Structure 1
Amino acid sequence: MKPIGIPRALYFFQYGELWQTYLAELGFAVTVSPPTNREILELGLAACVESICLPVKAFVGHVIFLVRHGLSLLLVPQLISVFRREWTCANLLGLPDLVRQYVSEDVRLLTPVLDARRRVSQHAWAYLRMGLEFSPPARVLRAWQRARDAQQEYDESRIPPAPSRGALHVLLLGPHYVAADPYLNGNLRAKLAELGVQVSIAADFPEPLTAEGCRYLRKRPYWTNTRRSIGSLEYCRDAIDGVISAAPFGCGAEAMQSVLISSHISEAPLPHLQLFVDEHSGTAGLETRLEAFCDLLERKRNG
């Protein structure tokens, strides 16, 4: 079986189940890099220019880690859009070209172009074309069906449960690749759980649901993360006690989104904690801010 590596970063947290299942069914020996840690992040920090955001630096670190462990074939999709009439982050549009600068010429990148701006089914055609390079049509179709089933089961398992009675309930906004990566966000969800807080992530809500929540806007959001954040906030604003936004430091899209989010939150009104992460972020200050925020939520609930 031909080995292939998948970096555990960026949109892996949304489509990892699909990618692993599809490639395994095509006959690849799939290796996923370990969860982000100091070693992996240091690899990305040493390679990338300062201006690139933390999640992309982490992605490059995962790529270099896989190459150093003998992988010469990597999956690095070019993710342009995951939903109709929306875009992902501009850094992701050229991600394969960026990664190519940090690996040798003998490392091959599989770079399916995933662009759902006109129709979501374009993703399927991109994956199928990629698969046909390695397997006959019948096997590719069978692999794709099993991968879709695995992804659907995973998506259903991520849907946030109903709030527990008596527990504080917080909505976590921001890019999924920050909210779902414990190392990048300072283990935010675990720290909130220790404080007795139930957390829902914006990206875990079904796409149609968050799209419906944005229908009242005069102009639909340009970025998928913005639509997910505003849509999930509209959907569950009556069931949450507060909102936490976690975003990479220096992200222009998140800076614009924070203004929109703040205006919507002020109408509720809901307490709002904004967190920005970079390679210099520490956990001590984060714990203090979370404890103070939870105290505020408790006082607000108790009147």
Structure 2
Amino acid sequence: MGVRVGIPRALLYYHYYPGWEAFFRALGAEVVLSDETTKAILDRGVRDAVDEACLPVKLYLGHLANLRDKEVDYIFVPRIVSVERKRYLCPKFLGLPEIARFCVPGLPELLDIEINVYERYHKSKQSLEKLASLFGYSKQAGKLALQEAKVAQKAYEARLRQGYTPQDVFCGREKKENGRIKVAVLGHAYNLNDPYTSMGLLEKLREMGAEVITTEMMLPEEIKRGNDFLEKEIFWTFGKELLGAAFHLLDEGSIQGIVLVVSFGCGPDSLICELVERIYRREKTVPLLMLTLDEHTGQAGVITRLEAFMDMLRWREAI
């Protein structure tokens, strides 16, 4: 039996899992996912985390503990500093391996390679290729595995731009017919797509008759155009994408409403969402709903606010 590599079903799982899975499978590893989020997994993460941690980090720690119980040989916890030139991710991604080791006892060995393309991609590529030797493969095999990962990741991102959500792709669901009301739902993919912590809000909006648009469904050039009005671009990758998507959609005038989803205690989002909210409220053309999630958020309250928001959008369309 091959080496068992665990991947937590949290944080950047929703961005990069297809590429990660293809990479490890090409190296003969068995990829083991943590279970889908439950109250027990979240509660375990909350118990292990420091009080100041945001909801996504608490959830990530719960998934690490879940993988520990599955007796995997390794857990993939990369230190992701930057995924594009001259941009950073949130600081929590920089210290994720240390957070994991400090907060969750008894973990197996972590594959904590550094991915940092702030200046150049070469060193990160070498780090990924070196993982091949850990599984008994040559450097050339590592290069081939990396190529397979790129192909899988590109195909995944193409599906997202066709209007599928990550959960649609992972579960093999067909894309549902577009609703009558276009609603942009903007936030980090790990906040929007975890069925438990998001209360399934994307599916609920679809059931209420909305055509849901997320950042991942938009083209890079559209997001870039949305950021063009800034004198200086945002240096957080995900913040830049959220801001660009929000301003492009406002300028295009193609949406009837926007829902901003943020986790309580998120530093970058406290700035980004404030900018978006100010501009939308100043323009007064597109209604905006802000949802803040934490471990205490109740489903009934979220559904009530979504229903009221959709009723208001239908009323606006009718007059």
- Structure 2 residue aligned with 1:79: 80
1:287 aligns with 2:288: no
Give the counterpart of 1:193 among 206, 225, 230: 206
The residue aligned with 1:36 is 37
SS at match of 1:218: coil
Matches within 5 A, 1:210-289: 210-237=223-250, 238-265=253-280, 266-267=282-283, 269-289=285-305
Structure 1 position 294, deviation (Å): 0.7
Offset at residue 126 of structure 1 (A): 3.3
* Distance 1:160-1:169 versus aligned 2 partners, 3 A rule: farther
Could you tell me which residue of structure 2 aligns to residue 52 of structure 1?
A: 53
Contact preservation (8 Å) 1:160, 1:201: no
- Residue-by-residue CA offset, 1:183-236 (whole Å, 9 max, x unaligned): 111111111111111111113434444234212211101212221112112333
Q: Are the structure 2 counterparts of residues 157 and 120 from structure 1 closer, same or farther at C-alpha, using a change threshold of 3 Å?
A: farther
CA distance in 2, matches of 1:43, 1:165: 38
Higher alpha-carbon deviation: 156-165 or 222-231? 156-165
Deviation at 1:248, TM superposition (A): 0.6
Q: Trace 1:175-190 onto structure 2 (pairs within 5 A).
A: 175-190=188-203
Q: 1:16 aligns to what SS in structure 2?
A: helix
**Structure 2 unaligned spans of 5+:** 165-175
Contact 2:5 2:76 in 1 (8 A): yes
Question: What secondary structure sits across from 1:181 in the alignment?
Answer: coil
Q: Which residue of 1 aligns with 2:96?
A: 95
Task: Normalising by structure 2, report the TM-score.
Answer: 0.89
Change (3 A) 1:43 1:192: same
Contact 1:72 1:106 in 2 (8 A): no
Q: Aligned pair count? A: 303
* 1:103 to partner: Cα distance: 4.1
Matched, 1:141 2:143: yes
Question: What is the Cα deviation at residue 70 of structure 1?
Answer: 1.0
Quote the residue 1:154 is aligned against. Answer: 156
1:9 is the counterpart of 2:10: yes
Change (3 A) 1:165 1:158: closer
1:55 shift after superposition: 0.5
Q: Separation in 2 of the partners of 1:301 and 1:141? A: 53
Q: Is the 8 A contact 2:34 2:66 kept in 1?
A: yes
How far apart, CA to CA, are the structure 1 residues paired with 2:279 and 2:120? 29
Q: TM-score, normalised by structure 1?
A: 0.93
Change (3 A) 1:197 1:65: same
Q: Alignment partner of 2:259: what SS?
A: strand
RMSD: 2.1
User: Does residue 117 of structure 1 match 2:104?
Assistant: no
User: SS in structure 1 opposite 2:51?
Assistant: coil
SS at match of 2:115: strand
Q: In the TM superposition, what whole-angstrom CA distance separates every residue of 1:119-162 from its partner, at most 9, and x where no partner exists?
A: 45654333223334432022112211111101100000001549
| Matched AA of 1:249 | F
Paired with 2:314 and 2:119, the residues of 1 have a C-alpha distance of 45
Give the share of equivalent positions with the same residue, in percent. Answer: 30
Choose 84-93 or 164-173, whichever is displaced more.
164-173
Secondary structure in structure 2 of the residue aligned to 1:171: strand
Moved more, 59-68 or 165-174: 165-174
Structure 1 unaligned runs (5+)?
none
Residues 72-102 of structure 1, C-alpha deviation per residue, up to 9 Å, x if partnerless? 3100011111222222111111000000113
Worse overlay, 250-259 or 278-287: 250-259
What SS does the corresponding residue of 2:297 show, helix, strand or coil?
A: coil
Distance 1:84 1:282 in 2: 39
